[in-house]
Amino acid sequence: MMLPWWFVVLTTVCTTVESGRLMVMKANSGGMQMASNHSHFMKDGKRVFLSGVNLAWIHYAYDFGNGQFKNSKADMERYMKELHEAGGNSMRVWIFMQGESSPDFTTDGHVRALDHQGTYISDFKEMVALAKKYNILLFPCLWNGAVVGQSLHKMTGVIRDDLKRQSFIDNALIPLVKAVKGDPTIGGWDLMNEPEGLVNTAYRDAEPCFSSLSDGGGWAAKMFTYREFLKFFNWMAAAIKSVDSGALVTVGANNAYVATDEFGRTNFYKDECLIKAGGKNTGILDFYTMHTYAWSGWSDLSPFKHSVGDYKLDKPLIVAEFSTKKSNGMTAPQLYRYVYDHGYSGAWTWAATDNSAGTPWEDEKKGVAEIRNEKDPLVAFTI
């Protein structure tokens, strides 16, 4: 999410096979089958590229549950239809944010359900049906770490308290994943947008996986250690895969500084760090995402100054947020072309509904149209 705007959001169903680091993504019986190797997403033996946008919401934190989707459905369908017509194939959609309207919390901070009125799953499935109609892979983003909102105390509880976290997993996360298990429209689950916004950058630890970087975040508040965040992510990822062993999981990293071991940095989201924090061997990511904005030009580690191989990652990497409002003069077609030509696995501009900081919607469509006919990796494929 682009900052300093305070609101600072592809989902593929899959089966993960750890042998040889091959991750196979499956639909339900009779559906499509996709796979990913060390650095690429695959379909029918061909590399595919995830070209799309961040929606990221119609009504921030109030799109799903408690009968609210009816207020967002028409606009969401319009964006999906126009994205499809422009040649896009994927969309990142934010859902819980910090718990403003869902999931449903008790007064003491435990989660008792997805929502109070019991419409969350039907609302969510309506969105999935729209995406299926327009051949769009969905990537739900669960939480938002880029801001301090009025409901931050709710998210804080499930991050720090084992019992509250487990109540969220049992009563909200697992029911949601079960509801769409095997649906090829779900491309993957983004556990949190930009957790770096709430990282305590002053915290130091003898374990490099948990020792924060002074330039690694903390712009919203210096609240959580990486040990706390990574345990949260490890437990959520393991829970998702306990329900759907083929699900793909990621975290929306704010920048490359926290997502590579190259250039003297630390990849906090690698398998080793997640397992050390949470203790669950299946609680790891299946692909990486990075965000990048040219505040005073591109940063030295921005994807727009590198090819994917420079980061030496062991999983596919999507450039999951960027904007022509902060692009060092690059146009939307140039941005998508750069990402495609430099070996990344996807490009999602920020953001269809952000008229302040995001790429204008008409330009976003020009961006995805720039690469719509590319075939290696393939952009136009059926989900």
Domain encompassing residue 306:
15-370
pLDDT-based confidence at 182, cuts 50/70/90? confident
CA dihedral 367, 355, 147, 12 (to 10 degrees): -40
Which residues belong to the active site? 194, 321
Peptide bond into 103 cis (omega under 30): yes
Question: Is residue 22 in some structural domain?
Answer: yes
Question: Is residue 5 in some structural domain?
Answer: no
Strands lying side by side in the sheet with 33-36? 15-16, 23-26, 33-36, 41-43, 46-48
Q: How far apart (Å, rounded) are the C-alpha atoms in residues 289 and 255?
A: 9
The average pLDDT across 4-8 equals 39
Number of separate domains in the chain: 1
Question: Is residue 300 in some structural domain?
Answer: yes
Tokens encoding 224: 């959580």
3-state secondary structure of 203: coil
Q: Is the pLDDT score of 65 beyond 80?
A: yes
Question: Is residue 382 in some structural domain?
Answer: no
Question: Is residue 1 in some structural domain?
Answer: no
Q: Is the pLDDT score of 21 beyond 90?
A: no
CA dihedral 193, 198, 199, 201 (to 10 degrees): 130
Question: Is residue 381 in some structural domain?
Answer: no
What is the pLDDT at residue 45? Answer: 79
Question: Is residue 375 in some structural domain?
Answer: no
pLDDT-based confidence at 17, cuts 50/70/90? very low
pLDDT-based confidence at 42, cuts 50/70/90? confident
Question: Is residue 377 in some structural domain?
Answer: no
Higher pLDDT, 245 or 9: 245
The average pLDDT across 111-133 equals 99
Percent helix / strand / coil, the chain, rounded to 5: 35, 20, 50
User: What average pLDDT is seen over the chain?
Assistant: 92
Q: How far apart (Å, rounded) are the C-alpha atoms in residues 27 and 46?
A: 17
What is the pLDDT at residue 216? Answer: 81
CATH code, domain with 147: 3.20.20.80
The average pLDDT across 197-220 equals 95
The average pLDDT across 81-101 equals 99
Q: What is the pTM of this model?
A: 0.92
Q: Which residues contact 354 (CB under 8 A, 6 or more apart)?
A: 2, 5, 7, 56
Q: Is the pLDDT score of 10 beyond 50?
A: no
- Per-residue pLDDT of 343-371, as tens digits, reads 999 999 999 999 999 999 999 999 999 99
